Amino acid sequence: MKLKYRLVRSPAPAWFSALIPLLAIVVTFAITSIFIIIAGANPFEAYYYFLIAPLTSKIGILEVLVKSTPLLLTGAAVTIAFASGYWNIGAEGQLYAGAVAAAYLGTALVGVPQPAAVIIMLLGGFVAGMLWGLVPAILKVKLSVDEVVTTLLMNYVALFFVSALLNGPWRDPVSNWPQSPTILANTMMPKLFPPARLHFGFIVGILAVVAIWFILSRTGLGMRMRSVGMGQEAARFMGVKIGRTMFITALISAGIAGLAGVTEVAGIHFHLIDAISPGYGYTGIIAATLGNLNPFGAGAASLFLGLISTGAQSVSRALGVPTFLADVVQATLLLVTLAMFLLRNYTLRRVE
Amino acid sequence: MDAVQMLGITKQFGPLVANNKVDFELRKGEVHALLGENGAGKTTLMRILYGLYKADSGEIRVNGKTVQIHSPKDAIAYGIGMVSQHFTLVSPLTVAENIVLGFNPGLRLDPKQVNKNVDDAAKKFAIDIKSTSLVRHLSVGEKQRVEILKALYRNINVLIMDEPTAVLVPQEVDALFETLNRLRESGLSVIFISHKLFEVMTISDRITVLRDGKCIGTVDKKNTDERLLAKMMVGRETFGVQRDSEACSGKPLLKIQNINARDKKGLLALKDISLEVCEGEVLGLAGVSGNGQAELASVLSGILKPESGRVFLNDQDITHLDPQSISKAGIGRIPEDRHAGVVGEMTVAENLTLERLDEFLKNGMLDRKKIKTHAEAMIKEYQIKATPDIQTRKLSGGNMQKVILARALYTQPRMIIAAQPTRGLDIGATEYVRNKLIEQRDRGAAVLLISEDLEEIRSLSDRIAVIYEGRIVGILPCNEATEETLGLMMSGAKEVANEA
């Protein structure tokens, strides 16, 4: 007798959900191998440098954590927004707003002791991010303007605003480069294991992940936020104030994204530059999605994405393939994971 | 010869039998109404004919020949066109462009020629529409005419219209009926899906009634009347439980005064509704679905703001309160769509607490122990087959309804608004929900029961109000409300003085 199988629309068994990240990685590497071969390298060797090599040395591991730091923050920002039904695509712009605040405070906090200065920097960045997220949030709540569009467009406004600052009033008077003056030593994020670059911002990132987990799963506000994200109509019926809840969500999310700007300015670059973020705000969306909007999932995804981007540099050094291979891997991983999430709704049934 | 014959059509969606061996015959040049309540299977049957669904079994014949219809394209090739409830028009394009869209041979589009063709067609079928108008400038009635012309332009001879009057104002309905009459004279066959008896009696030559997916029968308009149709439509079971009816004995608790409200489409759905529900009574609100019941429930639940009028609970004005304040004022609410009453992705415990979340917080933090204890108590008391931590969407309909019931009733509300509380439930769960409602009445609460199930209305209510086209057409004590009186009132054929 010949056996036939058919995909049926019913939830896949629980073990499949657990396997998704692993399967997604395997499939992604199968697909991206094609590009690696085109680039003239051996895929297995390439993946050794991509995934294993960065973890073989202490300095490599610390570098992975450095790369993960902004992603932990933008990932957390996007996760709390998406989980609450507010589609904040504007983490990138909110990050830039936080970075501007850090660059300003970093030159203004003269003589403030470092612990206090760092806290003020973080608070300042949080508020700046919130302010940047305020306009789309108000438009959404008061006029139902689609936040996907407004938050996205605000990113470009932020980018050009920073560019205008750097080419105008904030241009470094010493070097004449389009970069802001170097921030004061007391406002820099302390290094965790000097001389490695890893800084206090990483701790902030981890705390942000824990904080959004706590808000979402342990507080009344978080329960209301989730209800808006998962069933707005029913939430309204049960008396949740949709507009108010979304507004709070938008501000928390934007604030956390603002923190990422602070950690990059005060932990890595020490001044504001145009390219302070190579798209961390967008990569945060990838992290949140890979983590299935679970805070710890997003955190783990951020670490993994940090590994890929560190690995891209080592693979490019060792085998001469372009570093933007990391972007290709990231994008492929996102698409494959989304496809896998879709598959969760199906099971394979045997038909006679 | 019949234009279309559908023989023994069966269609199942999971456990739900939408069409059960339905036979349907359409003669040439007739307007044939397909009558039935919401969910009776009318639209499913027509979607099968139009190739949108595939029947599990059964046969379709067009002009006597057996055919296989796999897609709307096939259907159009066999001369069958359909105008659905939701229009499929591209609003920035002109009428002519919409009509030839997907029906223009070759790549080239000659606007002049196309406009002329469309204008000619409009003239031929006497449909008043200009080919060059932009669709987004048209009224709903005009858009519908474009849809009809679009179908006719494809040389069809069978036109299916799915509840065409649902979106129209009365004048537009008249215009539509004129158009349909003219089309019938020119030899077109029309299938007219509706649940409105009055319209069906006005426009159709023959009427086929569906109920619960089964074909109840086909009758000539000449040989029937609204009373008979109402009977066929709602069923003729004898009612086992009869309750002694009393007039409103307690003092009026909920007072609804002159409420006017619009539905999502902006049409006036409630017209000057006034009702009183007394302590210790069940007031049943009967009506064919889509006559304003859903909107009334929404207004009373705080989801929909009325345009005018007031609602009082005791002497507290609750007209403009939000859902949370309404719940706190002492109204327990059971929503019409239970999936819109619980957040499916959240756990049973969470859904049981969200409405009164403030009671389960400690300094803004969830009091997880209290939430769990509460959920366990509710699960036990209401015999819900679930654990506190299971996702609510995984429950059966009956258990989901029990979650809603538990949430609505545990606070001992003075007033209960139950909209379609047993729709889609099995016998056991239905029984359970009905007993709970009676229990509430017996402890002195006022219950407003909104239901399309006449048997339910008649067996639970002390008094019965009937709603038709957004108006209360009568209030009767239960013992005077015979099935026939109710059927007539529900079809708008009879009004009763509001004196009971």
Contact A223 B339 (CB under 8 A): no
If you measure CA to CA, which chain A residue comes closest to B354? Answer: A238
The full set of domain ranges for chain A reads 24-347
Residue with tokens 């933007």: A324
> Could you tell me if B126 lies within 8 Å of chain A, comparing CB atoms?
no
Of A219, A227, A237, the CB nearest to B323: A237
Of A221, A231, A238, the CB nearest to B364: A221
Of B342, B344, B364, the CB nearest to A219: B364
Strand-pairing partners, residue B6, are B24, B60
Question: What pLDDT, on a 0 to 100 scale, did the predictor assign at position A324?
Answer: 79
CATH topology of domain A24-347: ABC transporter involved in vitamin B12 uptake, BtuC (1.10.3470)
Interface test with A, best of B300, B321, B339, B343 (most A CBs within 10 A): B343
Which residues from chain A sit within 8 angstroms of residue B354, using beta carbons? 223-224, 227, 235, 238-240
Of A221, A223, A241, the CB nearest to B350: A223
Interface test with B, best of A238, A292, A294 (most B CBs within 10 A): A238
Q: A331, A305 in Cβ contact below 8 A?
A: no
Shortest distance between the Cα of B360 and any Cα of chain A, in A, equals 8
Residue with tokens 């066109």: B81
Residues 351-370 of B with CB under 8 A from A: 351, 354-355, 357-358, 360-361, 364-366, 368
Distance CA A161, CA A183 (A): 20
Q: Which letter does DSSP use for residue B495 in this model?
A: -
Contact A237 B301 (CB under 8 A): yes
> Could you tell me if B336 lies within 8 Å of chain A, comparing CB atoms?
no
> Could you tell me if A234 lies within 8 Å of chain B, comparing CB atoms?
yes
Contact B343 A241 (CB under 8 A): no
Which of B290, B310, B289, B288 has its CA nearest to residue B299? B310
Which of B263, B125, B101 has its CA nearest to residue B184? B125
Residues of chain B predicted below pLDDT 70: 38, 170, 235-249, 493-500
Which residues lie closer than 8 Å to B447 by C-beta, 6 or more apart? B277, B281, B282, B283, B415, B416, B418, B437, B440, B441
First-to-last alpha carbon distance for chain B, in angstroms, is 53
Question: What pLDDT, on a 0 to 100 scale, did the predictor assign at position B449?
Answer: 95
Which residues from chain B sit within 8 angstroms of residue A221, using beta carbons? 364
Task: Give me the total of CB pairs closer than 8 Å, taking one residue from chain A and one from chain B.
Answer: 75
> Could you tell me if A197 lies within 8 Å of chain B, comparing CB atoms?
no
Within A109-241, residue ranges assigned H as helices are 114-143, 147-167, 201-218, 220-230, 232-237
Torsion of the alpha carbons at A55, A56, A61 and A67, rounded to the nearest 10: -50
- Percentages (nearest 5) of helix, strand, coil residues in chain B: 35, 25, 35
Q: Which domains does chain B have, with CATH numbers?
A: 2-234 (3.40.50.300), 252-490 (3.40.50.300)
Which residues lie closer than 8 Å to A279 by C-beta, 6 or more apart? A92
**Amino acid symbol at B67:** V
Contact B323 A226 (CB under 8 A): no
Q: Which residues of B378-391 are buried (b: 16+ CB within 10 A; e: fewer)?
A: bbeebebebebeeb
Q: Is residue B361 classed as helix, strand or coil in its secondary structure?
A: strand
CA angle, corner A181, sides to A179 and A184, nearest 5? Answer: 140
Q: A195, A58 in Cβ contact below 8 A?
A: no
Contact B358 A220 (CB under 8 A): yes
Shortest distance between the Cα of A91 and any Cα of chain B, in A, equals 26
Which residues from chain A sit within 8 angstroms of residue B351, using beta carbons? 238
Contact A239 B365 (CB under 8 A): no
Q: A352, A5 in Cβ contact below 8 A?
A: no
Which residues from chain A sit within 8 angstroms of residue B370, using beta carbons? none
Which residues from chain A sit within 8 angstroms of residue B367, using beta carbons? none
Shortest distance between the Cα of B236 and any Cα of chain A, in A, equals 36
**Enclosing H/E stretch for B362:** strand B361-362
Which residues from chain A sit within 8 angstroms of residue B343, using beta carbons? 226-227, 230-231, 234-235, 238
Q: Which letter does DSSP use for residue B340 in this model?
A: G
Question: What pLDDT, on a 0 to 100 scale, did the predictor assign at position B172?
Answer: 80
What values do phi and psi take at B118, rounded to 5?
-70, -40
Shortest distance between the Cα of A9 and any Cα of chain B, in A, equals 11
Q: In what order do the strands lie in the sheet with B268-278?
A: B268-278, B252-262, B308-313, B316-317
Question: What pLDDT, on a 0 to 100 scale, did the predictor assign at position B319?
Answer: 92
If you measure CA to CA, which chain A residue comes closest to B361? Answer: A220
Interface test with B, best of A223, A232, A241, A248 (most B CBs within 10 A): A223
- What sign does the CA torsion over B366, B372, B377, B378 have? positive
Chain length of chain B: 500
What values do phi and psi take at A40, rounded to 5?
85, 25
CA angle, corner A332, sides to A153 and A334, nearest 5? Answer: 60
* Alpha-carbon distances of A178 from A102, A167, A243, A267, A273, rounded to whole Å: 17, 5, 41, 19, 7
Within A39-90, residue ranges assigned H as helices are 43-47, 58-83
Question: What pLDDT, on a 0 to 100 scale, did the predictor assign at position A296?
Answer: 95
ipTM of this predicted structure: 0.85
Q: In what order do the strands lie in the sheet with B331-334?
A: B331-334, B415-419, B446-450, B282-286, B463-468, B471-477
E strands in B376-457: 415-419, 446-450
Contact B327 A240 (CB under 8 A): no
Per-residue pLDDT of chain A (352 residues; tens, 9 = 90+): 556 777 766 666 767 777 777 888 889 889 988 988 888 888 888 888 888 888 999 999 999 999 999 999 999 999 999 999 999 999 999 999 999 999 999 999 998 999 999 999 999 999 999 999 999 999 999 999 999 999 999 999 999 999 999 998 888 878 888 889 899 999 999 999 988 899 999 999 999 999 999 999 999 999 999 999 999 999 999 999 999 999 999 999 999 999 999 999 999 999 999 989 989 999 999 899 888 899 999 999 999 999 988 888 888 888 888 877 778 887 888 888 888 877 777 777 766 5
Contact B343 A227 (CB under 8 A): yes
Contact B361 A220 (CB under 8 A): yes
